[in-house]
Structure 1
Amino acid sequence: MQMNSELYRPIILVVDDTPTKITEVINALESHGYRVVTTANGKKALYLAHQICPDLILVNLIIPGEDSIEVCRYFKSDTQTRDIPIIFMIPEATINEYKTKCFTAGCIDYITTPICLDEITLRLTTHIELTAARRELNNRNAQLKACRPELSNSKQQLHAEARLPSHAAAQLALKRFVLERIHEATFLVDEAGQIHYINQAVCNRLGYTQEELLKMNLKDIDLNWPVGLQGKEWITYWDKIREEGEVTFETQHITRSGEIFPVEVTAYYFENNSSNNILGLVRDISKRKQTQAELHQYREHLEELVTERTESLNRALKFTEGVINAIPDLLVELDQYGRYLNIWTCFQEDLAAQREGLLGKTVGEVLSPEAATTVMSALAEASTVSTSFGKRILIDLPTGPSWFELSVSQCPGSTNGEPHFLVLSRDISERIRAEEEICRMNSELGQRVRVRTAQLEVLNNELRTSEIQYRSLVENLPDNVIRYNSFGQIMYCNLNFLRLFSLTIEDVLGKTPCEIFPDLVSIKIYQAAMLRVITSGQSEQIESEVPGYNGKRRTYQVRFVAERDVNGTITGALSIGHDITEQVITECQLAESHAKLRSLLARREADLDEERRRIAREMHDELGQLLNALKLGISTLKMQFGQEFPALETKVNDLLTLADQAIRSVRTVSTQLRPPALDMGIIPALQWLADEFQQLSGVTCQLRLPYFLYNINELCAMTLFRSVQEALTNAARHADASHVQINLNRQSDGTYFLKICDDGIGFDPTNIPPGHFGLIGMRERINSLGGTLEIDSDLGTGTCIHIYLPDQGGSEVCEL
């Protein structure tokens, strides 16, 4: 039912100690046009009920510190609030326990929790409408009672007017005016049922005009009017009205449109000039009938509930009897003198006497004096407060002494009115022994707890000190320290982070990085890395650029580490950001410096090669010619003076031998400085180098060279030659190799690829002994030309050197 907001809004008073738990219910009721007033206790609810006069009261059964059923009785005992309908909210688990109590206290209905919004709306609407109908009915009855004196006066006046025809028409008009103002339908009929007068209320309800109704008979509008107007039935009914003077009865009227509705008629008999008439007051009781039908239906529903509850109680009683017969404890019924009236047990053999021998005896005759005294004191206590718990007695059984705990409850008495008691005695011998053991263990445990507590106190002090030191360390770190929860929201950050971005702690707590810095480009990468760590648990490190204090961008190295609880579950992530701006700048400067050094190295190597070429040419051209001329001169001396001076010939032969050695040394040095084969190209030079290496070392050297190499730069050719030369030297000197393979080709992108492999003993490329600069020089020479050198080697597996060298430009063409 949707209430019209322009009309009256019914008021619902909700009594609940925690109204926030039923906020959804309150919102639903308010959306249906109700005004909801809440309170937390019964006293305040009674006060509010006097102030606001609610249409319905909704009470929570469970209110801490109060008895909700007693609160309902307060309302029903108050004259001002007893007619207000009350509905209880009862937990579904306790419905059978409290339903009957709630109805007995005066509630009209109940609702189980959890609450269904549609159900509570319909129930509250129905009860409010029923209450409104009852109030309307009471008001109408009150109005009728108020009108009865007036009608009686009108009746007397009509009799007076009939007896005194001298009264003026003004008096009659006044009476008609009064009758027209009565809300109830009023009509005047004679013995034949002919209508002589009706007021406007009759016309409004039946839909006829006054002229039409004055021509009609009661049988035309009253469905229950007797068919035979002169019959015995009507005569009897008329005589009854005449004798009693006033009769109230119910019938049915029909409107002009055919609508049939129930009415209540109060008929008054009077005589006028020897004419017998009836004045009838008609009230529409449609709503009353509907309310009565609903109340009847509700009463039938309550009777069904009571029947169901009775059957449930009978089943519970049978179940209780079965449980009593099945429990291992002893259950007895005693009178106020301690006499055994009934016994239930599964273990009769544990008693000092059989069941038949106990019935009729008192506890003093069966038990020891101490045990009997304890039982009687328990009975006395139960007779005062209905129950007694916890008293213990010691009984000597055939199996030995046993302790029993008594639970006593007073039950309905016998025919003579004496109270009876149910006594449940449970064997607690094992429990007592266990309690003694527990006491001993508790004593030991208490001692251990005290020791452990002292240790924990020391550890807590150390932990607090460590925490203070840790916080001091974190807060004063120059790095940014941030903790995130499992949703990527900030839970903690140190002061350096707040100072860096000019933020307060309120600006960041509970927010994600993207919410704090929505316009920062690198923040999405940052947040994605953090969420990956929370998801996978694997640490991750990134570099991120952020704006600094002076507007210049700063570079931070950020490391994310997953945080876990004691069970190993990931609860968030820790982020530590270290400012590496200066390091990045230094690395850039260092890279630039390395590039310059490589350029200088390349230039130096080029100059050295040029110098070697010049020295080799001068040694070959000048020193070689001088030595040849010297050898020629010595040979001439030998030819001219050798025969005359035998001693001179010997000296000359020695000089010739030295001259030959000097010429060979010059050629060797010249070749080492600048192999002549390089002048013919890289391919002939490598072939010459391989032949020389094979002759000198005895190691097999296999070449795989292309037929043509176009436009290879001289510097590039010299670098490749020197690299092969250094590799062959290492293979012979350190690797103890027996076979070396050299591959050279030019790739499609113009890069020269050189591969040198041997079957030697191998080595660890990451651990080169100090003092060995051959590979280092080779790498630096190749890097200076923009190339790369890769070494694939391990102990016992040989060595492979891969060289990638970009073309430096040139004009040499080599053909094999």
Structure 2
Amino acid sequence: MANKGSILAVDDTETSLKVLSDLLKEAGYSVRSAISGELALRSAAHQAPDLVLLDIRMPDMDGFEVCRQLRARPETRDVPVIFFSALTETDDKIRGFELGAVDYVTKPYRREELLARVATHVNLRRIQLQVTAQNEELRHYRAELEELVAQRTAELQKSNRHLVLASFALDQVREAAYLMDGKGRFFYVNQEACRAHGYGAEELCSMDVTAIDPDFSPEMIASATAQILAKGSLTFETRHRRRDGTIFPVEITASAIRFEDRDLTLSLARDISERKEAERRLHESYSQLQELSSHRETDREQERKRIAHELHDELGQHLTALHLGLSTILYRMGNENAWLTERLEVLTSNAYETIQVVRNVAASLRPPVLDMGMGEALDSLAEQFRTTTGLVCNVTLPTPFRSLTKEALIAMYRVVQEALTNVARHAQATTVDIAIVQDNSRCWLEISDDGQGFDPSVNRGKSFGLLGMQERIELLGGEFSITTTPGKGVRIQVRIPG
């Protein structure tokens, strides 16, 4: 077994010391034993262990004194000490920690607990030694680096070749580079900057930022320079102007530079015309998608309305005629044929139930109550919800209630309908409150319940119901939000124009 570390075990009881030593050796540690404090100090001074397990109650020199002397000696001051003792007084523990102990184990100790604590502190000790060694190595490298930097600095002070090299490097980058002072005046530009603006290097170096940026003023230059010097760097978007007057968008990354006691700014400008064009097209595509979605919703509602009318007016009439025909036959048959009478009664009942099903389907596709206004529509939904679930459903409307556009009316009705469906299926609520508030330009809808709520940060899969509600409202230029925490219900807030 690989050596996990060296441990100095100190106990004045030979039996306890042997049991402890055997336990640690079985766990893979190299163990040195000391039956007194004096022997422990000699052993530690000869070769510092990775950890000291120290009994408190010992004759001549107790564990507290041993710990104090270990901490006083340079070669052992960083060795972690764990006290183990039958003492359980808080004062003893506090005193041990004040003397520098890292842990305290009470006898009789549990094997797993002791080994876990030992492993933790041995590993921390080894990490500490590694960090110390690495720091020493880093200090060595730093000294070498500082010497190298000093040599290089002396060489560069004798020559201006570094300026030529810097200029050459900046000329290779694809971004336009500008080196300027705190007032935005250029005193170096690279070749890409000349190409981007159509000026020569000398011409640009006779200008300042306001000559190539139509959006910048001297006050803005001072403000931006202060931010760059404070933060070290700054990235932002602006516009640049070419020699021929054309404007193009750029992304600027500006960095602060300290050179010969001067605060300078190095700015790299990237032409983002293609990216802006892509963003414009994406925005147009999104707008078209919204328009198509709105058109789809309108067509969907129109189709719902058409199907509902066909079900109610055509299929409903045929079923009603069938029901009346069966009723007439049943009436005229009387009791002449008991079997036939019974079958006619069943068919008549089925026809009546089918008529009711058709009416319910038509009503769910396009509730006729929508034509009566939002107030009646919400009252109808609430009454249907109360009847179906047995829960309390309160509706609060403004007085007077200003009528909504057809699109807003349908969208808000569908949101309430979907929300009540979710409450019935998932919320385990007892009460649902629906409220509408209006002002001169907007309408607010709030639906809240006292159910179990949910954690919004937990992935709940594809919540098409919530996505559908949000999409309906956003297509009207409105805002949709949901607030919930586990055990505190759900609140949906909708705000739309009108």
TM superposition score category, shorter chain reference: 0.5 to 0.7
- Aligned equivalents of 2:234 and 2:263: distance in 1? 16
Cα deviation digits, residues 332-384 of structure 1 (max 9, x gap): xxxxxxxxxxxxxxxxxxxxxxxxxxxxxxxxxxxxxxxxxxxxxxxxxxxxx
Task: Tell me the residue number matched to 1:724.
Answer: 416
Partner of 2:478: 787
Q: How does 1:709-788 map to 2 (within 5 A)?
A: 709-748=401-440, 750-763=441-454, 769-788=460-479
Deviation at 1:619, TM superposition (A): 1.3
In 2, distance between residues paired with 1:589 and 1:786? 20
Q: 2:195 aligns with which of 467, 481, 499?
A: 499
Deviations 1:298-333 (A, max 9, x none): xxxxxxxxxxxxxxxxxxxxxxxxxxxxxxxxxxxx
Q: Take 1:469 and 1:704, find their aligned partners in 2: how far apart are those partners? A: 75
Residues 554-605 of structure 1: CA distance to partner in whole angstroms, max 9, x if unpaired?
111324444579xxx9954443333222332333333333333333332332
RCO higher in structure (CA 8 A, sep ≥6)? 2
Instruction: Give the whole-Å Cα distance in 2 for the aligned partners of 1:666 and 1:585.
Output: 53
Q: Is the 8 A contact 1:484 1:573 kept in 2?
A: yes
Deviation at 1:687, TM superposition (A): 0.9
Aligned to 1:697: 389
Q: How does 1:644-659 map to 2 (within 5 A)?
A: 644-659=336-351
Identity %, equivalent residues = 33
Give the SS at the match of 1:712: coil
Q: Classify the secondary structure of the residue corresponding to 2:481.
A: strand
Q: Secondary structure at the match of 2:398?
A: coil
Q: Counterpart of 1:643 in structure 2: which amino acid?
A: N
After superposition, what is the alpha-carbon deviation per residue over 1:594-620, rounded to whole angstroms, capped at 9, x for unaligned? 333333332332232222222212211
Equivalent AA in structure 1 for residue 230 of structure 2? S
2: CA distance between counterparts of 1:559 and 1:698? 63
Kindly state the Cα deviation for residue 669 of structure 1 after the two structures are TM-superposed.
0.7
Residues in 2 aligned to 1:555 and 1:709: alpha-carbon distance in whole angstroms: 49
Q: Which of 306, 315, 319 is 1:623 aligned to?
A: 315
Question: Residue 325 of structure 2: SS of its match in structure 1?
Answer: helix
Output the CA distance in 1 between the equivalents of 2:318 and 2:165. Answer: 85
- 1:480 aligned residue: 176
In structure 2, C-alpha distance between the alignment counterparts of 1:606 and 1:591, rounded to whole Å:
22
Structure number with bigger Rg: 1
Contact 1:489 1:509 in 2 (8 A): yes
Q: Secondary structure at the match of 1:577?
A: strand
1:420 aligned residue: none
Question: After superposition, where does 1:542-561 map in structure 2 within 5 Å?
Answer: 542-548=236-242, 551-561=245-255
2:402 match: secondary structure: strand
| CA positional deviation for 1:499 | 1.7
Structure 2 matches for 1:109-120, cutoff 5 A? none
In the TM superposition, what are the counterparts of 1:384-783 in structure 2 within 5 Å? 452=144, 475-484=171-180, 488=184, 490=186, 492-508=188-204, 512-514=208-210, 517=211, 520-522=214-216, 524=218, 527-537=221-231, 540-548=234-242, 551-562=245-256, 571-641=263-333, 643-748=335-440, 750-763=441-454, 769-783=460-474
Q: How many residues align?
A: 347
TM-score, normalised relative to structure 2: 0.59
Whether the 8 Å CA contact 2:449–2:489 is kept in 1: the answer is yes
Is the contact between residue 500 and residue 549 of structure 1 (CA under 8 Å) also seen in structure 2? no
Aligned-partner SS, 1:779: helix
Identify which of 802, 807, 810 aligns with 2:493.
802
- Checking the alignment, whether the CA contact within 8 Å between 1:533 and 1:560 is kept in structure 2 is no
Q: Is the 8 A contact 1:751 1:805 kept in 2?
A: yes
Q: 1:487 to 1:525 in 2, by over 3 A?
A: closer
Matches within 5 A, 1:143-292: none
RMSD: 3.9
Question: Separation in 2 of the partners of 1:774 and 1:631?
Answer: 38
d(CA) in 1 for partners of 2:404 and 2:388?
29
CA contact (8 A) 1:742 1:755 kept: yes
| In 2, Cα distance between equivalents of 1:560 and 1:691 | 64
Change (3 A) 1:539 1:632: farther
Q: Given the superposition, is the C-alpha separation of residues 524 and 481 from structure 1 closer, same or farther in structure 2, using an over 3 Å criterion?
A: same
> How far does the alpha carbon of each residue in 1:404-439 deviate from its partner, in whole angstroms, 9 at most, with x for none?
xxxxxxxxxxxxxxxxxxxxxxxxxxxxxxxxxxxx
What secondary structure, in the 3-state scheme, does the structure 1 residue paired with 2:401 have? strand
The residue type paired with residue 668 of structure 1 is N
Deviation at 1:529, TM superposition (A): 4.7
Give unpaired runs (5+ residues) of structure 1. 1-447, 808-816
Equivalences for residues 309-328 of structure 1 within 5 A: none
- In 2, are the aligned partners of 1:706 and 1:744 still within 8 Å (CA)? yes
| Cα distance change of structure 1 residues 791 and 483 upon mapping to structure 2, 3 Å threshold | farther
Q: What CA distance in whole angstroms lies between the structure 1 residues aligned with 2:387 and 2:253?
A: 59
Give the letter aligned to residue 241 of structure 2: P
Matches of 1:500 and 1:617, distance apart in 2: 66
8 Å contact kept, 1:530–1:573: no
8 A Cα contact 1:522 1:545, kept in partner? no
Letter in 2 for 1:499: R
Distance 1:710 1:688 in 2: 18
Q: Secondary structure at the match of 1:643?
A: coil
